[in-house]
Amino acid sequence: MQDTVKTWLTEGTVDIFLGYKMVEGHPIPHGFSRNCLDEIDEMVTGPARYSLEKFATQLLQIHPEAKIGILARDCTQRALNVLTIWQQISPGQIKTLQVNCCPSPLGSNTDCSYLQPAETGTYKAAHGVDGSQSLQTLEQMPEEERFDRWMYEFQKCIKCYGCRNVCPMCFCRECSLENKDLVGNGHLPPDIPIFHLVRAVHMAGRCIDCGLCEEACPAEIPLRMLYRKINDMMGTLFDYHTGSSPDQSPFSLLGDKPSSGLPPMTAELSKNK
């Protein structure tokens, strides 16, 4: 792997390679360049993850012509597909070096230990949402109970914006979460559930189920579950599978005649009751 990266850099296939470097026992995200080829010996793979594709997007905003190599898991590939669709990167601008991946309904080849859910505590199991459960198990609960459990999770929010800041899909120049007309400012907890639902709605057609938001959340809100529900609805309602290809734009998924041939949304919503 190190040899591949060295070759890419020396031959000019890429200008920079985004991966992880071991610093005092901690894998830290790092940009490797041909000026410091020796550093590549310290490049590591493993369970550590960070939003490397977000760095790539930001680098391309500053250097639109740069060629970027990136250490990629399945979720990275999904992210690049969606970023291409949303015109944040151009096809072929980013070259991936594939490594093994984490458990996700959207992928296989799994070894991401950070995503092994910690044991769910008794109080959380009784009052909150257990992120280690499947969406299907959660949805078997009565709607009112589910609502109460989600509200328990949301009221822990300390409005750190960690979910947004780490998200490879949060590239908007203006963020709805910072629009006072949508979400009130200056309070803890933030306006709930609207803060989390605004973000969830914006994840439709974007969330690539990397789980970094949930990993970043200091309040351990099972955000991944929330956005999985959104993806689930995108699949059921529109046959849209976020990140599965770089071609299917959400703007064209309805075709020429919007709503024809699609099940009405109310059917999906009433099914869950």
Partner 1 sequence: MTNSYDDLEGAGCIFVIGSNTTACHPLIARRIYKAKERGAKLIVADPRGIQLSHMANVSVNHRMGSDVALLNGMMHVICKNGWQAADYINSRTENAEALFAVLDAYTPERVQAITGVKAGDIELMAETYAQNSPAALLYAMGITQHTTGVDNVKSCCNLAMLCGNVGVAGGGVNPLRGQNNVQGACDMGGLPNVFTGYQPVSDADANAKFSEAWGRPLPDKPGLTISDMVPAMLDGKIKALYVIGENPKLSDPDWNHFNHALNNLELLVAQDLFLSETAQVADVVFPAASVAEKNGTFTNSERRCARINKAIEPVGNALADWRIISRLATAMDYPMNYGSAGEIFEEMRALTPKSYAGMTYERLGINGLQWPCPDTEHPGTPYLHSEQFARGKGKFHAIEYQDPAEMPDADYPYFLTTGRVFAHYHTGTMTRVSKHLDHEAPFGYVDINPLDARNIKVGEGDPVVLSSRRGEMEVAVRLNEKLPPGSLFLPIHFGESAANLLTSSEALDPLAKIPEFKVSAVQVCRAS
Using CA atoms, how far apart are residues 249 and 86, in angstroms rounded to an integer? 8
Positions 126 through 155 that interact with partner 1 (CB under 8 A): 128, 155
223 close to 163: Cβ distance less than 8 angstroms: yes
Q: How far is the CB of 66 from partner 1 (least distance, A)?
A: 22
Asked if 178 touches partner 1 (CB under 8 A), the answer is: yes
Positions 68 through 107 that interact with partner 1 (CB under 8 A): none
Q: Please, which residue, 128 or 205, has the CB nearer to partner 1?
A: 128
Q: Please, which residue, 130 or 139, has the CB nearer to partner 1?
A: 130
In which residue are the tokens 């000026």 written? 35
Q: Determine which residue in the list 189, 193, 246, 250 makes contact with partner 1, applying CB under 8 A.
A: 189
Q: Determine which residue in the list 1, 36, 160, 267 makes contact with partner 1, applying CB under 8 A.
A: 160
Q: Determine which residue in the list 117, 121, 255, 263 makes contact with partner 1, applying CB under 8 A.
A: 121
Asked if 181 touches partner 1 (CB under 8 A), the answer is: no
Look at residue 10 and give its three-state secondary structure: helix
Q: Determine which residue in the list 26, 173, 257, 273 makes contact with partner 1, applying CB under 8 A.
A: 26
Q: Is 39 exposed, middle or buried (0-12, 13-18, 19+ CB in 10 A)?
A: middle
Q: How far is the CB of 219 from partner 1 (least distance, A)?
A: 6
Using CA atoms, how far apart are residues 216 and 165, in angstroms rounded to an integer? 9
Provide long-range contacts, Cβ within 8 A and 24+ apart, for 34-38.
Answer: 34/9, 34/10, 37/6, 37/9, 37/10
Range in contact with partner 1 (rule: CB under 8 A) among 44-52, 63-71, 157-165, 259-267: 157-165
Look at residue 101 and give its three-state secondary structure: strand
Look at residue 199 and give its three-state secondary structure: helix
Asked if 173 touches partner 1 (CB under 8 A), the answer is: no
Range in contact with partner 1 (rule: CB under 8 A) among 107-115, 116-124, 228-236, 259-267: 116-124
Q: Is 161 exposed, middle or buried (0-12, 13-18, 19+ CB in 10 A)?
A: middle
Asked if 24 touches partner 1 (CB under 8 A), the answer is: yes
177 close to 161: Cβ distance less than 8 angstroms: yes
Range in contact with partner 1 (rule: CB under 8 A) among 17-25, 58-66, 201-209, 237-245: 17-25
Q: What angle do CA 229, 231, 234 make, to 5 degrees?
A: 110
Query: Residues binding partner 1: what is the number (CB under 8 A)?
Result: 24
CA–CA distances in Å: residue 241 to residues 80, 118, 250, 253: 14, 28, 10, 11
Asked if 188 touches partner 1 (CB under 8 A), the answer is: yes
Asked if 12 touches partner 1 (CB under 8 A), the answer is: no
**Chain residues in the site for partner 1 (CB under 8 A):** 23-26, 120-124, 128, 155-156, 158-161, 178, 185-186, 188-189, 218-220
